[in-house]
Chains A and B, each alone.
Chain A
Amino acid sequence: MKIYADNAATTKMSPAAVAAMVECLEKEYGNPSSLYALGQQARERLEKARGEVAAVIGAEPEEITFTSGGSEADNQALRSAAALGKKAGKTHLISSAFEHHAILHTLAALEKEGFTVTLLPVHEDGLVRPEELEAAIREDTCLVSVMYANNEIGTVQPIEALGAICRKRGVPFHTDAVQATGHLPIDVKAQNIDMLSASAHKFHGPKGVGFLYARRGLRLTNLIEGGAQERGKRAGTENVAGAAAMAAALKESAAAMEKNAAHMSVLRDRLIEGLKEIPHSALNGDARKRLPGNVNFCFEGIEGESLLLLLDDRGISASSGSACTSGSLDPSHVLLAIGRVHDVAHGSLRLTIGEDSTEEEIDYLIRNVREVVEYLRGFSPIWRDLMSGKKEFIL
């Protein structure tokens, strides 16, 4: 059996997205800036995509800027708020401890430029507390950026409550919604979101395209200078095919959202229940307030990379937050942020199921994860010490 259980990493393009893309590439290849008909056709296609994307999140078309993906959108959102803040003498930014590196590394760069950053704790359940945000906001706070749903452990933040606090205190609110867009309902107006980042390939669109929503009146700072594309806020000939395919994928995901979420969360819970039966294991993040397709576990006494390689041999594509899969000596900052110690964080497994997943696949996943964990524990010196009582179990 072949099971793709890494939908948080990327998704397969939907047939509608592929069709939209191919159509643009073959027929509407004009440059949207050209005045002849072929160019204007491409322009229309681009603006149609902008309108469709905007509609899904409750925004206006002119509030959408197409980008190369989520990372660019995150960078531009933070840089824009920082520039606006600096003009007003405000140089304090607030975010959370387990943001994507596109946020954390941009914040680190801003710190070097003289900004100060407060990272809110995310607690054992992987959730930001609104009252802690409220307490962290200062007179000189120029932005709050909290991700909608975490990419590793899938926990979904109380975005509306966070947005309301920011609105009340007059601080712009950005959310990295890369994992949430197309999977969870978003209404930027009702949720008081001033900026939002999204990436097409997380909801069955193509890689290399995403968007930044910025509320009207919020002046964006360019990351890329050049021509006047995207209202002068993002230079470079537009990726019309990418934008059209993204819109097609998002429209489809939005239309089927409720049905998909219902189907996936039942399978997610079945998977969680099955994996819980493995002794000395633990689910990472809140069990209910999480993405419908996300399951993330720690298994004591084993290391994540060898788990992934053996699962791959059994046809299962998954991911881990172990150091060996990150290319650094430290395991995932997300797992450390929710209080998992290094020893345990190395033995993590993320399975992110999709809309097409079946009960049979879930049972195959449970059976194979259980077997591989048991096998690796069989020759783990840590497991031996835990079992003999030389070391104490953490989980």
Chain B
Amino acid sequence: MALYSEKVMEHFRNPRNVGVIEDADGIGEVGNAKCGDIMRMYLKIENDVILDAKFETFGCGSAIASSSMATELIKGKPVAEAMKLTNKAVAEALDGLPAYKLHCSVLAEEAIQSALNDYYQKHPEKKS
């Protein structure tokens, strides 16, 4: 049995939404180099809708695949909906992760929440 599902490997090999958004409305970062995983998310938001999402990740295969899948799942979604993205949804969309890699999907969820919190902080009027 392979370490990862086909879906994980496909997203790891061809990660979607890699890069930086220079004029991002929200930037979030979670993890630390000591533990071996860092995710940085950039969001472009207009009229409470996530127009674009990009990421940079230092980490293992599942961390990269989780970042890729999480950005795919929130692109085009209203901010309120993106805020509800769970690690479970990320892991399920990847056809599962090995148990000891589930924290990678948790990181992806937290990275998005961190970026959205940054957006709310910059636009306090949006938080209802």
Contacts and interface: CB of A to CB of B under 8 A. Distances in A.
Interface of A: 301-306, 309-310, 313, 322-324, 327, 329, 331, 342-343, 346, 378-384
B59 A342 contact: no
Contact of A381 (B12, B34, B58, B100): B58
A380 B18 CA distance: 10
Contacts of A304: 60
A150 B57 CA distance: 32
Given A324-B59, A324-B60, 4 more contacts: A306-B63, A309-B61, A381-B38, A382-B58
Contacts, number: 67
B61 to A, nearest CB: 5
A303 B19 contact: no
B118 interface: no
Contact of B61 (A306, A327, A342, A379): A306
A178 to B, nearest CB: 26
B2 to A, nearest CB: 10
B90 to A, nearest CB: 17
Given A303-B36, A342-B34, A346-B33, A379 B100 contact: no
A331 B58 CA distance: 15
B13 interface: yes
Contact of A305 (B18, B19, B61): B61
Contacts of A302: 58
27 contacts: A302-B58, A305-B60, A305-B61, A306-B59, A306-B61, A306-B64, A309-B9, A322-B36, A323-B36, A324-B101, A327-B100, A329-B36, A331-B36, A342-B33, A342-B36, A346-B33, A379-B55, A379-B56, A380-B38, A380-B58, A381-B38, A381-B39, A381-B40, A381-B56, A381-B58, A383-B58, A384-B20
A306 B12 contact: yes
A278 B60 CA distance: 21
Contacts of B37: 303
Most A Cβ at <10 Å: residue of B15, B20, B40: B40
Given A331-B36, A342-B34, A313 B13 contact: yes
B57 A381 contact: yes
Contacts of A383: 58
Contacts of B56: 379-381, 384
A304 B58 CA distance: 10
A304 B29 CA distance: 21
Given A306-B61, A379-B56, A380-B56, A324 B36 contact: yes
A303 B35 contact: no
Contacts of A305: 60-61
Contacts of B33: 342-343, 346, 382
B59 A379 contact: no
Contacts of B36: 303, 322-324, 329, 331, 342, 346
Given A322-B36, A343-B33, A381-B38, A303 B59 contact: yes
A329 B101 CA distance: 11
A58 to B, nearest CB: 43
A303 B59 CA distance: 5
A302 B37 CA distance: 10
Nearest to B33: A343
B26 to A, nearest CB: 15
Contacts of A303: 36-37, 58-60, 63
A284 B29 CA distance: 30
Q: 7 closest pairs, A vs B, by CB?
A: A324-B60, A305-B60, A343-B33, A381-B40, A346-B36, A381-B56, A342-B34
A303 B35 CA distance: 10
B115 to A, nearest CB: 13
Contacts of A382: 33, 38, 58
A305 B104 CA distance: 13
B58 A301 contact: yes
A168 B101 CA distance: 51
Contacts of B100: 327
Contacts of A309: 9, 12, 61
A343 B57 contact: no
B60 A322 contact: yes
B87 to A, nearest CB: 17
A140 B101 CA distance: 45
Interface in B42-71: 55-61, 63-64
Contacts of A313: 13
Contacts of A384: 20, 56
